[in-house]
Structure 1
């Protein structure tokens, strides 16, 4: 659907957005809360997205629940960093419970059948969970930087610091997700109108959408991404320096390669999940009046919700010790892949600790 200036949203309801090009005087005929949105896409598109949301639902819940159960069941997993991984799992469950579940049913109905109030709840909860997830990834990266690179000397990252990091992610998440509930932007159906998120579309000064989008980009994407790139960049530099000093050590060289691979996967996973959503929202805000397909808004929204599956796979399953415990839990005490806890994995609290902090600490 195409939009042209001026934006007529002054005269439309506060609960949803209708593109100018639809040119209708009877807005109830197109309300995303009342009728199927087949004017935005074919029924087959809605069904495909519904199936994908169902996939995220049936995979995201077990993976994240198992992460939490394993951490509480196995004492060796109760390290300070794993508190943050549990925090990440809780945030993912919120996104799955409110976002993927709601979107699955709505796509199957081809409109947001839950109503305006549910739209605001879903938009807020999914945004909160997503923001907590983003900040949790940044905290994980910064913790690795502190523990392995030792920029503060003998500073020890303790459970108290991990708890403070977890609390901070929720504070930042609320700062990011609450404003639309109080008039700074708003939560409305997005894309194919079957899931809800912040209003990227309208130019109505009543909502100050542009400033909110810029705030989200800087505070909730740019800053966490900078922390992740800086932290993992310094980590790789430290590991490379150690590997250079120990060129004859096959284990050190192997550790450096493994950590490099993990870091690349982590950063790519972050970008795959969140870059499309960020680019789309910024493009809409900075290209007011230019035509675009409103239905395209569903693509970045789907990518962001898929982080509930990608993140556990990257941050948990690439951790040998965590993977071993999870497999034992699933298969009643024995891992089918032969993952056993060895001395090196016992010293790891996360997947980027293939080389212990004593090995990679600056000389």
Structure 2
């Protein structure tokens, strides 16, 4: 451990193998402020901690319910097992992991006002949040690639099949593990962040022992820039193709409508993902590129906690915009459905063989 000055508060900063927190000038007793041992009331009011806990409770309950419902519905109804829906279910599985483990850990720790689950709990929460976020981002890249392949047909008559979708789902987990495992084995580390009740990779220090700087560059280049570039490229090509097809009326009106609705759904999913994750990514980039600049630990808690809302919005998007899912969920829950809606759902399924519509 060693100390240096915080540019914001001009207080010593204690570097420890398992955490990084401000220590007041009048004491060197690290146990009095350890985020694993005592409530972090010196960082914020009790009302703030309990508000964060309540928010995480909503994310945990709603995320667990809606993602479990999506997975069970897909298992129960065979007509939902299309290649695009496999990727959507892959998202639901990743979200379920975050809501049941990551969101629960944060809910419990915010209620206690410190990382009561210890270093192991911190590593588990940081790992699940990282892997869930990475699977989500890579899955959205795969969806964009699938849309590009189906609509733009860059390879002619190549068919994106279920086997391809399953292989792509496996790839998202491999890429996510490549991002989430290094901090567990010494390349960077998972430490409490913000109000010290949630955990993530160490953006804050330049400790050469963990090579944090190189890990941050790796994470943003491989795990953010590549999938995000893929998403932007595929959707730009997709929108151009749909616009050209609409002008030429090369396809039937019903097919064009189905493809537009599918595209609208996945575009909204991408925007929703960025709304939840861009604040966190932007803050991390700012910290890395502005070493020594002042920032408030309470502020950096907001993007960290807000990012976990991504476990809720994806299922809501493809249930509200997907007539197939909506129809099947109504049936599974015993809710009545009009014949007109049922026939519309079936009609769209026949027109667009990509699942959502």
What is the TM-score with the length of structure 1 in the denominator?
Answer: 0.89
Distance 1:80 1:262 in 2: 16
Q: How many residues align structurally?
A: 350
Worse-superposed segment, 310-319 or 36-45: 310-319
Distance 1:131 1:72 in 2: 24
Q: Per-residue CA shift, 1:232-270, capped at 9, x if unaligned?
A: 221111111111113997657755764564354223212
For 1:45, the equivalent position in structure 2 comes to: 48
For 2:346, the equivalent position in structure 1 comes to: 342
Distance 2:274 2:238 in 1: 19
Structure 1 position 99 matched with structure 2 position 123: no
CA contact (8 A) 1:122 1:196 kept: yes
* Residue number among 169, 189, 193 corresponding to 2:192 in the alignment: 189
Distance 1:245 1:175 in 2: 44
CA contact (8 A) 1:4 1:21 kept: no
Query: Taking structure 1 as reference, are residues 35 and 66 closer, same or farther at Cα in structure 2, changes over 3 Å only?
Result: same
* Residue number among 271, 275, 278 corresponding to 1:275 in the alignment: 278
* Residue number among 89, 111, 114 corresponding to 1:111 in the alignment: 114
* Residue number among 244, 248, 271 corresponding to 1:245 in the alignment: 248
Structure 1: gaps (5+ residues): 355-363
CA contact (8 A) 1:3 1:21 kept: no
* Residue number among 283, 300, 306 corresponding to 2:309 in the alignment: 306
Q: How does 1:258-337 map to 2 (within 5 A)?
A: 258=261, 261-330=264-333, 332=334, 334-335=336-337
Query: Taking structure 1 as reference, are residues 185 and 196 closer, same or farther at Cα in structure 2, changes over 3 Å only?
Result: same
Distance 2:279 2:285 in 1: 10
CA contact (8 A) 1:247 1:253 kept: no
CA contact (8 A) 2:53 2:110 kept: yes
Give the Å deviation of 1:115: 0.7
| DSSP 3-state at the match of 2:235 | helix
Q: How does 1:166-245 map to 2 (within 5 A)?
A: 166-245=169-248
For 1:358, the equivalent position in structure 2 comes to: none
CA contact (8 A) 1:119 1:189 kept: yes
Q: Per-residue CA shift, 1:166-207, capped at 9, x if unaligned?
A: 110111011000000111110011111111110111121111
Q: How does 1:102-141 map to 2 (within 5 A)?
A: 102-141=105-144
* Residue number among 33, 47, 64 corresponding to 2:36 in the alignment: 33
Q: Per-residue CA shift, 1:213-245, capped at 9, x if unaligned?
A: 121111122211111121122111111111111
Query: Taking structure 1 as reference, are residues 87 and 261 closer, same or farther at Cα in structure 2, changes over 3 Å only?
Result: closer
Q: Per-residue CA shift, 1:266-298, capped at 9, x if unaligned?
A: 232121021111111111011011111012221
Query: Taking structure 1 as reference, are residues 317 and 245 closer, same or farther at Cα in structure 2, changes over 3 Å only?
Result: same
CA-atom RMSD in angstroms: 2.6
For 1:57, the equivalent position in structure 2 comes to: 60
